[in-house]
Each structure stands twice: as structure tokens, then as C-alpha cells.
Chain A
């Protein structure tokens, strides 16, 4: 069982959260010209790192806020969590 520290609610079990994918993916800016490659990278292409991985989770059965979680994809260890509007350092 993953045990995730929600920055708003504290320690909660994995069952309360739903996954939102790679948090380092950034949507191309609106109203600017976007190349096919940039759009592909945003929609489809993923690094899917082995090791430390920043990802989005939503505290669905709790405060319903989106959060960022730094987790190891090989060991499932969680190192850090941030609010959605906080930058990954």
C-alpha cells in the first residue's frame, strides 16, 4: 500500500487517491504556434523514468486537490509531495 502525504490533509492511504501521470509534461502555450513535434511530446511521448519520478495525483476521496508526488518507480518509495501550484525545484 502506498502511503501518500497530501500537502493539505496529511498522511492518507493510496485508496483515497487517483493517478494523473507525469507532472513534468507541460501543455504548449495557448494562442501560439505549436509544432507537431511539441504537440506530440505533450500528448503522447513520455520518458517514463525508472527511478525518481514527479507525478500528479488527485486526492479524490479527500480534499479533491491535485498534488505533485515525487516517487521512485522501481521501489515505490515516496520522497516528497507538493501542492499543485508549487514548482518542482
Chain B
């Protein structure tokens, strides 16, 4: 594989950039693989990459119904953070932060990781107390956290509404300075290119139609492009987990919901942080192109439609304007939707299943993008070693049975309440 570098860029300029190698091949599926990853999103591609890199397992195929990076890895708001209170979430996410920091070098692909910091705004004394507690928990786990008062927040984001008689005055905020954003498509393409170069087959436009299971073991997978014999399958299809689980006669603690995001027209640099509204559910950052990237609540009912409805969008943007009134002057450029695996405690599942050779990676709710490297790394470990790593031990499937839930937000099982 040719290296992406300034020298190669100059060299290829002489031939008008017409003779670059393809970033990944378009192979026809083989009859047999050691491992098949179902789902060519960020997590699936990362899993295949770490299987090859960390465990020398390269007889691997990624099967994707559409095209790689066409699902949630291409639809999210690109926020990367590890500002969690619970140990399981904090340590897992911070492990991921370390992978993010060196990802561009590791993949030889500029993922444009931008650790610009995230600020969660607080709008009451009680919320400041909660943030102080979360910040302290983060610091105990080695994650950077700073509690900001109103004046400190005003210095960083003066465009927020600091006027006197507002419904939700800004009391302060919790900042994780090392959090940030990355170019989401580049993450998918970078992992795909490296996985492909190590021998992984990326098979697109290939739908899984069924599974061959006998004696409690995975024997193969049936696809629209033929049957494939396989020893191990990694299911990595957040957003469609319920559909594939049904083909395996499994029920999972997941509901599939719809989440929208949107961007405004591009404007000059105004916001150099990620900011979240504390009196509702709204988050915003500015892309390198200048668009304001915004998102918020789920639409709130089960859905497999990758498009949203206006009432939720209006609600979310009302919160945005309450937080930063200048947003009302901007025109909307694009809105879109993605389908979320909403797990019943808000935390993901990376685990073995009752079927030998079948591994499950799902339930990412609306926090899947930031977890891409850590999810791929731990899922690859779980598949290769046939046991969970201590980092994903808390993300077990049977925690719903044993009662050891990871209910970070304390919302219970009503996933549509966000």
C-alpha cells in the first residue's frame, strides 16, 4: 500500500493525481473465512483492523448491506469525549481517547482529530453540584475535567446567552479540555484502507439473509452473494441489531430509535468548542467548513427510517436558540437522521453470546462514534481470545438479568425519554 505523505502528494501532482492506488479493493466473497464481521460501519471496520493488527487474524471479511461508512459513522455529529462518571464507561472511553490521539499516525490517514474541549453547561446550583461530582469522578479516573463558573464560561463562549432575565441562566459548566471532534468519514475510510491492506475483504452491497447454527455453534452465514462458512461472527450492526437478532431467534434489550442532526449554512469561525445545553438536550460545534453542527433529542418512537420529523427538530433548535440566540439568524443547510440501538440502560453491549462463535457489539445509543476505536479494539480482543477484556467486562449482555446495570444517566428502560 502506498503511504500517504507530502512527498507522495507532490509526486502524484505531476500526473494530476490520476494514478493513486484504490484505497480498498472490491473482492468477491470467498467460501470460507476465520472471522466474518457483519456491518461495515466504524465499529466493524475498526474491529477488522484490530483483529489483523493486534491478533494477526487476517482471513477476515466485513459484510456490509449498503456501502461502508453509509450508516451512523457518516451521520453523527463527530463528538469525541470521555466525560463519564461510572468507572466502566470512563475507563473504556479514556482508553479510546488514547487511540484517538494517535489515530492519524496509526492509520496513515488524517482523521482531523481536533481536541478542542467540550463544555456541558449548568443552569442551576443543583446541576453545578452534579457536575462537580462527575468532574471529581473523572479526575479520579485520570480524565481531565474542570468546573467553570459563569464568568469562566463567558470568557470561552461569549456568544451564549448571558443576559439577566433568561429562562435558563448559565451558572457555569463542566469542561473536558481534551475532548473534541474528528472527521467522521475519514475514520471509516482510514480503518477500511488499513484493514484492506492487511488482507481483510471488505464486501459491500451484500446483505445477510440468515445464519447456519448447529449444536449451539456458528457454522456459517447466508448472504445475498452466497453462503460463507465461518468459525466466528462478530455482529456489529447498531441500528439493525434487532433485525439480525430475530434471524438468530434472539431477543435483545434494545429498541431501535431515530435521531436527527443538522448543519447550518457555513459562517466564519465563531465557536471553537463543543457545547451542550444543560436544561434540555442540545449539542453544537462548528465544523472546519464553518457549518454549525447541531443535534439533540431522539424523535421518541421506534423507527427504522433514516429521516426525521419536524416537531423534534423544532424542539431541539428552540433549545439551541435559548442557549445561543445568534443561531436564529442562520439558515439551515441540511438535516438528516440515523437509527440508534437504544439499549435499556443507555450503555453498550460488547460480549459473547449463548451461541458459540457469535459475538455481539451493539446498544451504542447516541454515543457510538467516539467509541469507534475502543469498541473495535475490545471487540477484536473478545473475538480473537474468546473472552472479554477487562475494559468491556462491564458491557455484558447478561447484566440486564443480573441487575448490574450501567445506567449512567439514570433514565431506566424508557429509551425514548432522552
- Contact flag A1-B309 (CB < 8 Å), given A19-B416, A44-B400, A73-B304: yes
Confirm or deny: B305 has a beta carbon within 8 angstroms of a beta carbon on chain A. yes
- Is B256 engaged at the interface, CB distance under 8 Å to the other chain? yes
**Is B300 positioned at the interface, with any CB of A under 8 Å from its CB?**
yes
| Structural contact, B416 and A21, CB atoms closer than 8 A | yes
Q: Please tell me if the beta carbons of A1 and B311 are within 8 angstroms of each other in the complex.
A: yes
Let me know if A1 and B310 touch, CB within 8 A: yes
Interface positions, chain A 8-39, Cβ under 8 Å from B, are 13-15, 18-19, 21-22, 36
Is A45 a contact partner of B300 (Cβ separation < 8 A)? Answer: no
Q: Does B301 contact A (CB under 8 A)?
A: yes
Chain A, interface residues (CB within 8 Å), range: 20 to 34
- Closest chain A residue, CB of each to CB of B345: A44
B387 at the interface (CB under 8 A from A): no
Which residues A24-78 have CB closer than 8 A to chain B? 36, 40-41, 43-50, 53, 55, 71, 73-76
- The answer to whether B302 and A22 have CB atoms under 8 Å apart is yes
Whether a CB of chain B sits under 8 angstroms from the CB of A88 is no
B252 interface neighbour in A1, A13, A45, A76, Cβ under 8 Å: A45
| A19-B416, A21-B416, A41-B251 known; A48-B311 Cβ under 8 A | no
**Which residues on the B side are within 8 Å of A50 (C-beta)?**
242-243, 256, 304
B255 near A: Cβ within 8 Å? yes
Nearest-Cβ distance from residue A56 to partner chain B, whole angstroms: 10
Partner of B253, one of A2, A46, A73: A46
Prevailing SS type, chain B contact patch: mixed
Which residue of chain B lies nearest to A43 when distances are taken between CB atoms in the complex? Answer: B413
> Contacts A19-B300, A36-B401, A43-B413 known; A48 to B309 CB distance under 8 Å?
no
Whether B309 lies near A2 (C-beta < 8 A) is yes
Chain B nearest CB from A89 CB (Å) reads 21
B251 touches A47 (CB 8 A): yes
Q: Is the CB of B302 within 8 A of A55?
A: yes
**A44 contacts across to B, CB distance below 8 A:** 253, 344, 400, 413
Q: Decide if B17 is an interface residue (CB 8 Å cutoff).
A: no
A14 near B303 with CB under 8 A, answer: no
**Complex CA–CA separation, A75 to B258 (angstroms):** 12
Q: Which of B250-292 contact A (CB under 8 A)?
A: 251-256
> Chain A nearest CB: distance from B65 CB in Å?
13
Chain A residues with CB below 8 A from B303, complex form? 73-74, 76
In the assembled complex, the Cα of A54 lies from the Cα of B251 at a distance in Å of 17
Q: How far is the CA of A15 from the CA of B310 in the complex (A)?
A: 10
- The answer to whether B11 has its CB under 8 Å from any CB of chain A is no
Contacts of A22 in B (CB 8 A): 255, 302
Please determine whether B242 and A46 come into contact, CB atoms closer than 8 angstroms. yes
A29 to chain B, nearest CB (A): 20
Query: Bound state CA distance, A18 and B312, in angstroms?
Result: 12
Q: Does B409 contact A (CB under 8 A)?
A: no
Once bound together, how far apart are the Cα atoms of A40 and B242, in whole Å?
A: 16
The answer to whether B305 and A40 touch across the interface, beta carbons within 8 angstroms, is: no
Beta-carbon nearest neighbor of A37 in chain B = B401
Query: Are B254 and A48 in contact, CB atoms less than 8 angstroms apart?
Result: yes
How far is the CB of A60 from the nearest CB of chain B, in Å?
12
Q: Tell whether B246 is near chain A: CB-to-CB under 8 Å.
A: yes
Residue of A nearest to B314 (CB): A15
Question: Does B414 sit within 8 A of A, measured CB to CB?
Answer: yes
Determine how close the nearest CB of chain A comes to the CB of B42; give it in whole angstroms. 22
Closest A-chain residue to B253, C-beta based? Answer: A44
Instruction: State which of B246, B311, B401 has its C-beta within 8 Å of the C-beta of A47.
Output: B246
Q: How far is the CB of A57 from chain B (nearest CB, A)?
A: 8
Nearest-Cβ distance from residue B137 to partner chain A, whole angstroms: 26
**Known interface pairs A14-B309, A15-B311, A55-B302; A46-B400 also in contact (CB < 8 Å):** no
A45:B253 contact, CB within 8 angstroms: yes
A-B contacts, 26 listed (Cβ < 8 Å): A1-B311, A2-B301, A15-B311, A19-B301, A21-B414, A22-B302, A36-B401, A40-B253, A43-B344, A43-B400, A43-B413, A44-B413, A45-B252, A46-B242, A46-B252, A46-B253, A47-B246, A48-B242, A48-B256, A53-B302, A55-B301, A55-B302, A73-B256, A73-B302, A73-B303, A73-B305
Binding site for A on B (CB under 8 A): 242-243, 246, 251-256, 300-305, 309-311, 344, 400-401, 413-414, 416
Residues of A within 8 A of B (CB): 1-2, 13-15, 18-19, 21-22, 36, 40-41, 43-50, 53, 55, 71, 73-76
7 nearest A-B residue pairs (beta carbon): A44-B253, A48-B242, A45-B251, A44-B400, A44-B344, A19-B301, A50-B304
